[in-house]
Amino acid sequence: MSQPGAAVTTAVVPAPDDPLVRGLLDRCRFPGKGTAVTCAVSGGADSTALLALAIAAELDVEVVHVDHRLRAGAADDAAHVMSLARHWGVPGRVVTASVAPGGDLEQRAREARRAALPESALFGHTADDQAETVLLRMLRGTGPVGLAAMRAGTHPLLALRRSETHDLCAHLGVRPRHDPTNEDPRFTRNRVRAEVLPLLDDVAERDVVPLLARLAGLAAEHADLVDDLATSVDPTDVAALRAVPAPLAVAALRAWWRTETSGAPPPDRAATERMLDVVWGRRRGCDVVGGWSLRRTAGRLRLERSGPAVPDH
């Protein structure tokens, strides 16, 4: 593996008039020229391509590298990213978000990374990542909101393929960092990538990534429509929630949850069912998730911070 910074000193600065860069940019969903953005850059090919394309899009870019301190090469990754940011003339900083080894490591690392970054931070996930996410969520029994997977607002490269980010790095003369955990079969996403997707390609006799990405897009349209319709429903009014179809009631409750809890992790299906039990009078209240509970009094709902479990009727 190259020394930190050694692979970036001759890297070409990405320019919007470069034909390869232009062709990729035309398929991305970046905000307008001059918009201030934070790019989450690990040093891998996808996030390096994100940084390159954001610069070529003439955005006001800041680079943030999140160090989870999970492996020996983490310090070298951080040095590489900061060297590349300096070489391309954008500010950068390293944020530590330590994650202890143990169960559910992928999810805990994702949550720590999200907490360490601005809510509007951009990520370099591609259509291949989107397809993997759709399959992972299907394995968990997700609904339409979950199938929508990642959204273009914070994932501007979703129309690109992973191979294209590698091609762009090679074109610009950047050698991306390699994370060996991306091949570790202990992580479910890696098995989906290495085993499930190739098997689906073989069974379907075609590349299924575009199909799964299209499914995510259709699910997103459906979820957005339901969310728009749900804005007319008062989520604190039990009678109003009972008067609409269950998908609208759930969407109204989820929107209310996001506002009231300031972005706490959303209720899973079991927690949502408990909330609906309160709406329909099968419970007076319930624990939801994250130390929050839902209570009903005189036909009105309220969310409260943690406390003793609320008894059922």
Q: Which segments within 244-291 are labelled E, that is strand?
A: 285-287
Give the list of residues 6+ apart from residue 193 with CB closer than 8 angstroms, or none. Answer: 128, 132
The torsion angles phi and psi of 89, rounded to 5 degrees, stand at: 75, 30
Contact residues for 268 (Cβ-Cβ < 8 A; gap 6+): 289
All structural domains of the chain: 19-126+161-183 (3.40.50.620), 135-149+187-230 (no CATH), 232-305 (no CATH)
pLDDT in tens, 187-234: 899 999 999 999 999 999 999 999 999 999 999 999 999 999 999 999
Q: Across all residues in the chain, what is the average pLDDT?
A: 91
CB 84 within 8 A of CB 51: yes
Dump strand ranges (E) for 76-176. Answer: 92-96
Q: What is the pLDDT of residues 8-23, one digit of tens each?
A: 668 899 999 999 999 9
Say how far apart CA 145 and CA 129 lie, in whole Å.
17
Supply the pLDDT for residue 68: 75
What's the distance, CA 178 to chain centroid?
21
Burial class (CB in 10 A: 0-12, 13-18, 19+), 141: exposed
pLDDT band (50, 70, 90) for residue 2: very low
Residue 94 sits at φ, ψ, to 5 deg, of -110, 135
Token look-up 């009231």 returns: 260
